[in-house]
Amino acid sequence: MQLRAIQKTCLLLLSVFTLFAHTAQTKAADSASIFNVPRLYNITVDGKADDWAEQGFRLDVLTPATGQLPPATEFDARARVGWNDQGLLVLLQVDDKDITEAKDENKLYERDSVELFMATQRGAADRYQIILSPGLEAAHPQLRWHLNDQRQNADLKKINISILAARTKTATGYTLEVLLPWEGLAIKPEVGREIALQLGVNDWNNADKLFRAMGYPALGADSDSNKMQRVRLAAEASSPVRAVATGGYERFRRTRIDVTATADQVGKPVEVREGLRALGAGQLTSDGEPAANGRARAKVLLPMPARGQAYGPLTVSIAGEPITTLNLPDPNAARRDAFADADFIFQPFTFSGTSFPNGDFQNPSLVEDLIGPYTLKTTFYDAAYNVVTSAQKPGRYGAIVEITGADGQPYKRFYTLFRQPAETNWRRMDLPLTVEFPHELGVNPTVAKEQTISVSEAFRRLWMRDGWRDPDTAVLLAGLYETQPGASTVKRTDVWHRDQHWWYELKRKTGDLKPYRYLLYLPPTYNAEPYKRWPLMLFLHGSGERGDDLEKVKTHGPPKLTAAGKNFPFIIVSPQCPNGESWLPEELNDMLTGIIAHYRVDTERLYLTGLSMGGGGTWNMAMEYPNRFAAIAPIAAWGDVADVARVKAVPVWAFHGTDDPAVPFKEGKVIVDALKAIGGDVKFTVYPGVGHDSWTASYNNPALYEWFLQHHRTTPVE
């Protein structure tokens, strides 16, 4: 059972930040800003700053990208950047007396570390990431580094990337010096050449939280070079970055602008303006930190935009001089996202007796801040989809909650309830229970068995206290109650998928089913060849592209390529999965059936592919409808090994990176091996040293589409 966290953080400070912010001598940064890094001479990569003197483009303040900014006495970082004929030079000076480093060589980024990203230019596919662990722990006394190779060009990938790096320990932390070679990206170093760079410093603190300070404060540079900063190789450096600003919303009751600057700016006034209109002001203070190693900080509070309104670009100034322009997120979209995440609680989800439990939001005041005063109307359904007012029988029930806010627009939530046959007396439950702990908890299995009574008692109390209030418990019990002994134990038929299927049918009956919205690509000659039937490719995106904005679907894969002008000999259908949901095979199948009815589709040449969550959806869809597709290509994905026989006759080409941190390589390999073991038609392309993004190279490979077109479905659709 997975118990959900029902407490939300009080501070909803969105991770939307500006670019590098400048001092008074420079212009405000925007998405087109570019920074000059100077050519350097006589630099030795030895982990010492002496030979840099005052050279290099200076980042005296890095931008907080995740978490709250710790005091400078606990953590601080500064950077300089330059170049020479061999590569890009980066000098990082980190103040951090409490160093905790990762054990796993492939996950150095999870603890104290430095991340460097470089691409041939902003927006380019050829890029790589270097993660360095400083080597200051007794267990890890040497500097370690790991390459995440995201280069797509086949010729470039033949070139070995070997960085130069050195670290020296200092009284307050460490100095790290790195040379990123031009050779790995075939960059010709010359004045005026533009590249893309991102740098970040990760700090693992005593509260077991990771704080990240970055040069270009946009996460995701490992899969998108648009999240890197434009950098120009020059003879002289741009003016140093001495102040940065971030912005977001606090509980959707006010807007907060945070300014961080070098310590010598303590006492200077800060102002935030929207055009000519002054919105708020503050003053840089030292927060009590010693001026010698502290920072200057200011917090400016602004009113929350009224529902339906938003701030335009906000100019942040120090002592009358603009340092940056902030573009805050759309507050209305942010409100919608926060409302979608607001927990709704039935008291309880699992109940006894004929009366249905009451329900309301866990934090009603937060919801009122999001949608205004609201009303609730709940309609209950029994397991046979009938509207009921009482729970006359034990088993599954569904609750459709209609929430109406200040704008009069109704929102709906859908919850499974379970009426147990009789009141449960947990104190009479037989002990012991069988419990196995994950090895990451460090609990010795022998000790766990010897202490079975204590462990069982703890779990019994957990169920008594939280089980009936957790929505997943009701889903679990309803599914188990309905399942007959001897039923298949594969994921396709487990209690969670049973719940999805049940709700799909109920929403279909009530009119609450919202079909997937999708992008449709037709080949250039589709209309010119009215009698031709075309192969169709169904593409399933990953979790990051969920939502209600179809433009997000163009982030990766075939939709990205077609948007850039590439032509395909397929009809390409790219649906969008709603926020908080995963791909549902029945809904995808119904969508596909509707498309086939309206377009000239060759039903013997239906192909299925997807990445990450969409790769998992590819496996699931193929297992649910094994006779539907002529071939499938799951990328960076996992699948149900126990159900793999369902796709024995389906040609499969799977792709995975060995260093994938999101879907471990072993999860992709195990299902491929299982399919091979039963004689399945399967290919497996492995990308050594590649992280989660194994899809860019895969979808850029013409051989994938040629392989698809070689296959025709030979079995009838069920």
Delineate the domains of the chain, giving CATH numbers in brackets: 27-238 (2.60.40.1190), 244-332 (2.60.40), 342-509 (no CATH), 515-709 (3.40.50.1820)
Cβ neighbours for 620, distance < 8 A, ≥ 6 positions apart? 491, 492, 583, 585, 639, 640
* Angstrom distance (rounded) from CA 555 to CA 598: 27
At residue 425, the pLDDT reads: 67
Average pLDDT of the segment spanning 194-201: 94
DSSP assignment, residue 18?
-
Please report how the helices 495-510 and 585-598 are oriented relative to each other, as an axis angle in degrees rounded to 10.
Answer: 50
At residue 488, the pLDDT reads: 73
Contact 514, 667 (CB under 8 A): no
Residue 484 neighbours by CB distance under 10 Å: 5
List, in sequence order, every residue forming a beta bridge with 609; answer none if it has no partner: 539, 633
**For all residues of the chain together, what is the average pLDDT?**
88
The model's pLDDT over 564-594, given as tens digits with 9 standing for 90+, comes to 999 999 999 999 999 888 999 999 999 999 9
The model's pLDDT over 523-532, given as tens digits with 9 standing for 90+, comes to 999 999 999 9
**Residue 521, SS3 per DSSP:** strand
Average pLDDT of the segment spanning 406-435: 82
The model's pLDDT over 438-478, given as tens digits with 9 standing for 90+, comes to 776 677 888 777 777 677 767 666 665 666 778 988 998 89
At residue 26, the pLDDT reads: 30
The model's pLDDT over 267-281, given as tens digits with 9 standing for 90+, comes to 999 999 999 999 999
* Angstrom distance (rounded) from CA 191 to CA 234: 5
What's the chain's Rg over C-alpha atoms? 28
**Local confidence band at 290 (pLDDT 50, 70, 90 cut-offs):** low
At residue 445, the pLDDT reads: 80
At residue 372, the pLDDT reads: 92
Residue corresponding to tokens 């009119």: 511
The model's pLDDT over 652-699, given as tens digits with 9 standing for 90+, comes to 999 999 988 889 999 999 999 999 999 999 999 999 988 898 999 999
Which pair of structure tokens corresponds to residue 193?
A: 């050449």
At residue 554, the pLDDT reads: 95
At residue 469, the pLDDT reads: 79
At residue 158, the pLDDT reads: 87
Contact 173, 49 (CB under 8 A): no
pTM of the shown model:
0.77
The answer on pLDDT for 7 being more than 50 is no
The model's pLDDT over 80-98, given as tens digits with 9 standing for 90+, comes to 999 999 999 999 999 998 8
Phi and psi angles of residue 385, each rounded to the nearest 5 degrees, phi first: 75, 20
At residue 5, the pLDDT reads: 30
**Local confidence band at 219 (pLDDT 50, 70, 90 cut-offs):** confident
Strands 410-419 and 350-351 turn out to be parallel
The answer on pLDDT for 14 being more than 50 is no
Residue corresponding to tokens 């163009």: 554
Average pLDDT of the segment spanning 64-89: 89
* Angstrom distance (rounded) from CA 391 to CA 424: 17
Identity of the amino acid at 47: G
The answer on pLDDT for 20 being more than 60 is no
- 193-211 as b/e, with b when 16 or more CB fall inside 10 Å? bebbbbbbbbbbbeeeeeb
At residue 442, the pLDDT reads: 74
Contact 701, 685 (CB under 8 A): no
Residue corresponding to tokens 């969409």: 614
List, in sequence order, every residue forming a beta bridge with 137; answer none if it has no partner: 140
At residue 66, the pLDDT reads: 75
At residue 29, the pLDDT reads: 37
Cβ neighbours for 322, distance < 8 A, ≥ 6 positions apart? 27, 28, 315, 316
Average pLDDT of the segment spanning 137-157: 89
